[in-house]
Amino acid sequence: MAVDLQQVLREIDEEVKARRASGDFPPGLERDLDLTFARFAPAAVSGDDLPGLIEAADRTSFVDPDPPTGSRLPPVAVLKKTERKLLGWYFRYLSQQVTAFGGSVVQVLRQVAKRLDAVERATPGVDADAVAAARDASQPVDAGDLADVIATALGGVTGRTLVTEAGDGSLVRRLADAGTDAYGVEPRLQLAESAALTGLEVRDDESLDHLRAVADDALAGLVLLGCTDRLAQPAKIALVAEAARALAGDGTIVVVATDPSAWGSGNPVEADLAPGRPFHAATWVHLLEQRGFTGVRVEERGSRRAIVATR
């Protein structure tokens, strides 16, 4: 009997959503589980731990020239011991060459990792410490006067709708109250947990990281908020690319962005530490149209813009 994997995933999502809403899952439980898994899982499984992967490669680079000879059948054990004596010179010859090659590769990897680390630290938007400093200096962003525009644009959406950098969850709540199946992601743990405690589905995650994990055509609506101003140029381009992949054929996207001329007027520390600067509305329009979005329009409210488009 064939198993409908997509149906299983949908049922799991619905169960998690119901358990989260009922309070069975504390807001920080998923994050704690992720950290525990990363701690105990093998390096090759737990994600992007380059030093751990190099250490694992170092531990496995030695090739043992003495194969085991034990067996539950005594004649087989004798045969294995005889073969090891006869072929031991051959095993040692091969293992010495393979071990030497493995050791050289590990040393090369260490040098590459060291130089890569130096490049990342000098590249805006790549170094984790610099990204964290920019995030911590930023203030939560709400939709403000553009909330009506967003609610109207997503009024006909019937599937899942994602709000990035949802903050206290006010926009998620407004969309949910209007009947939209909305949830949010928020990179500031305290804000994400506070919003979750009010019964909203707001997850502790970075916007681009979460969007990359979303399945193809899984979203019916998407609101890019907050991260659109602070992220570096390549990350913003990646946001649009991932949005085009994750949104269904008739999906709607709303990009909320600050006019570059007003950037930093309210929070100069964030403006100085951010790896990127806001795009002009025309740039967002260009990127969306490049990715096949149609019906692109721009709504202005003071220094902020809402760029609305459909797939």
Q: How far apart are CA 81 and CA 68, in angstroms?
A: 9
Give the per-residue pLDDT at 34: 66
DSSP secondary structure string, 2-28?
A: ---HHHHHHHHHHHHHHHHHHTSS-TT
Other CB atoms within 10 A of residue 167 CB: 23
Q: How far is CA 2 from the centre of its chain?
A: 31
3-state SS assignment for residue 69: coil
Provide the residue type at 91 as one letter. F
Q: How far apart are CA 206 and CA 164, in angstroms?
A: 8
How big is the CA angle at 18 (ends 209 and 218), to the nearest 5 degrees? Answer: 40
Task: List the pLDDT tens digit at each of the 311 positions of the chain.
Answer: 566 777 777 777 777 766 766 666 666 666 666 666 656 655 554 556 677 778 878 888 888 888 888 888 888 888 888 888 888 888 888 888 988 898 899 899 899 988 888 877 766 666 677 777 777 777 777 788 899 999 999 988 888 999 999 888 899 999 999 889 999 999 888 888 888 888 888 888 889 989 998 989 999 999 999 888 888 888 899 999 999 999 988 899 999 999 988 887 777 887 788 878 899 999 999 999 999 999 999 999 888 899 999 98
Output the CA–CA distances (angstroms, integers) from residue 45 to 42, 54, 61, 210, in the order listed: 5, 13, 19, 18
Provide the residue type at 116 as one letter. L
Task: Give yes or no for a contact between 201 and 183, defined as CB atoms under 8 angstroms apart.
Answer: yes
Contacts of 200 (CB under 8 A, 6+ apart): 166, 169, 172, 173, 176, 183, 184
Question: What pTM was estimated for this model as a whole?
Answer: 0.69
3-state SS assignment for residue 158: coil
SS3 content of the chain, % helix, strand, coil (to 5): 55, 15, 30
Residue at token pair 């949802």: 166
